[in-house]
């Protein structure tokens, strides 16, 4: 199987984010053919089309980081039945200026965790709507709405429950196969 570089976004900017713990677990459980790399977005200013003629350096570097990966993975909480504002802002920067959308034909996956019983289901559906507009092929199955418990994942990403660990390992394996399928139709840009 070929090697792919996956850029992942942690939707929460909070230092103690449970989704950051989930992201660390996913990096640990990813199959060897996936090289995982975080793409940060916390330094981006609020997007405005006033920047379209002259993107600030931080936004150019952000778009370059997305261009350098084969696929993207969103590990995000749900805020008010949607996605965090910082993540939406990052997607707006990446999808602009018109005709320079960084997500076009780039395989994507979505996963998230929350203490609530439905995990991040509603926020993920909202993110799917946004990414479909961005022409990003999305892995729609398996869906992953993880209910977080305080002892589920350690700070360094070790999953303490075997059934959750196996589910997350399967999710990453399925994501790898999805990337390969998409990129067999939409070859990597060099």
HEC secondary structure over the chain: CCCEEEEEEECCCCCCCHHHHHHHHHHHHCCCCEEEEECCCCCCCCCCHHHCCCCCHHHHHHHHHHHCCCEEEEECCCECCECCHHHHHHHHHHCCCCCCCCCCCCCEEEEEEECCCCCCHHHHHHHHHHHHHCCCCECCCCCCEEECCCCCECCCCCECCHHHHHHHHHHHHHHHHHHHHHHHHCCCCC
Residue 1 has pLDDT above 70, yes or no: no
Confidence of residue 169 (pLDDT cuts 50, 70, 90): very high
Third-level CATH fold of 4-185: Rossmann fold (3.40.50)
- Residue 23: its pLDDT value, please? 97
pLDDT tens by residue, 98-143 = 889 999 999 999 999 999 888 899 999 999 999 999 999 999 988 8
What proportion of the chain, given as a percentage, has pLDDT over 70? 97
Give the pLDDT score at 189.
61
Q: Where are the domains of the chain?
A: 4-185
pLDDT above 80 (res 156): yes
């Amino acid at each position: 199987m070929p090697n792919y570089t996956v850029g992942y976004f942690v939707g929460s900017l909070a230092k103690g984010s449970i989704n950051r713990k989930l992201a660390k677990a996913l990096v640990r459980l990813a199959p060897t053919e996936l090289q995982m790399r975080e793409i940060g977005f916390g330094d981006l200013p609020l997007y405005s089309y006033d920047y379209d003629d002259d993107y600030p350096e931080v936004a150019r570097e952000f778009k370059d980081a997305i261009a350098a990966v084969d696929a993207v993975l969103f590990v995000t909480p749900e805020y008010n039945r949607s996605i965090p504002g910082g993540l939406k802002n990052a997607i707006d920067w990446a999808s602009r200026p018109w005709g320079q959308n960084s997500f076009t034909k780039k395989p994507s996956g979505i996963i998230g965790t929350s203490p609530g019983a439905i995990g991040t289901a509603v926020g993920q559906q909202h993110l799917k709507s946004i990414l479909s507009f961005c022409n990003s092929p999305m892995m729609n199955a398996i869906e992953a709405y993880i209910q977080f418990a305080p002892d589920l994942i350690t700070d360094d990403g070790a999953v303490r429950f075997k059934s959750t660990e196996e589910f997350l390992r399967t999710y990453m394996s399925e994501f790898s196969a999805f990337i390969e399928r998409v990129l067999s139709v939409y070859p990597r840009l060099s």
